């Protein structure tokens, strides 16, 4: 791909995989042999060779050493004439491209994990609500606290797990900006600047708080209402809400400042 008068080399998963397969066979190595040398599974090596994924950037040098090629050759998926001068910009683009791909793969896997966690917490919270209703507590009695709080947390949790962007635009890194707006969501915290250094940690913190709340808050209601009495719940509920909201905000500030 050429842009701006120069050529930008894009890494091809398929070309990389075929090149690794070719070099591995030249060394009379099986996928299992290569996997053992790299301390990964043979299934991982198989995915590389079939072009389904790329190795983590930290594995590029060990792979290149084992297969007796340079990292640049590995990323290009072909051997380079030793007499040919390699453009340093090309090398930089290949390495940056590999780093970017590794980061994107990591982010994609984390998102999948959080989606599974959300679905599990969703099922648990629904089960808890059903248990409360089955125990004789009507929807009307719960509507003001348990249903409302759980519903809101499920809504916010869904947004963070399914839709929130894990990376902010680059201008957040160059400027002190204390708000983030993505679609219908907006967060504004005075005294805290958002950037790509702390945004992912802040998102993780919010995911933990929202998912923990949708499970633990109804559970607390079940225990207190059924084992003690609903009057006590009315008192403790206010304390719980202060702890939830206050703890969430304080946690965001602590994490945000730490990685700001």
| pLDDT of 83 strictly over 90 | no
| pLDDT of 154 strictly over 90 | yes
Quick one: average pLDDT of 208-223?
91
- Stretch(es) of the chain classified as CATH 1.10.260.40: 2-86
pLDDT value of position 139:
61
| Coil, strand or helix at 42 | helix
> What are 36-78's pLDDT values in tens digits?
888 888 888 998 889 888 887 667 778 888 888 887 788 778 8
| pLDDT of 6 strictly over 50 | no
> What are 155-170's pLDDT values in tens digits?
999 998 998 887 788 7
1 confidence band (pLDDT: 50, 70, 90): very low
Which residues are within 8 A (CB) of 98 and not within 5 positions of it... i.e. 6 or more apart?
11, 54, 57, 60, 75
**Architecture, CATH, for domain 2-86:** Orthogonal Bundle (1.10)
pLDDT value of position 71:
77
């Amino acid at each position: 791909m050429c842009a701006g008068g120069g050529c930008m080399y894009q890494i091809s998963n398929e070309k990389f995989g075929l090149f690794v397969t070719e070099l591995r066979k030249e060394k009379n190595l099986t996928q299992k042999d290569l996997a053992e040398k790299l301390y990964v599974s043979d299934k991982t090596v198989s995915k590389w060779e079939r072009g389904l994924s790329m190795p983590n950037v930290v594995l590029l040098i060990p792979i290149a050493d084992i297969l007796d090629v340079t990292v640049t050759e590995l990323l290009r998926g072909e051997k380079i004439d030793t007499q040919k001068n390699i453009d340093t910009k090309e090398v930089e683009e290949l390495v940056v491209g590999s780093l970017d791909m590794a980061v994107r793969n990591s982010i994609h896997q984390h998102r999948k994990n959080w989606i599974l966690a959300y679905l599990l917490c969703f099922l648990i919270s629904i089960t808890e609500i059903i248990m409360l209703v089955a125990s004789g507590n009507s929807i009307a009695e719960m509507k003001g606290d348990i249903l409302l709080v759980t519903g809101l947390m499920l809504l916010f949790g869904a947004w963070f797990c399914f839709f929130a962007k894990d990376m902010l635009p680059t201008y957040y890194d160059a400027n002190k900006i204390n708000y983030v707006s993505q679609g219908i969501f907006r967060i504004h915290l005075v005294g805290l600047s958002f950037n790509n250094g702390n945004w992912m940690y802040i998102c993780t913190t919010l995911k933990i708080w929202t998912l923990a709340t949708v499970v633990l808050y109804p559970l607390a209601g079940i225990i207190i209402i059924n084992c003690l009495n609903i009057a006590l719940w009315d008192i403790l509920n206010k304390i719980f809400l202060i702890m939830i909201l206050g703890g969430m905000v304080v946690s965001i500030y602590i994490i945000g400042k730490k990685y700001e």
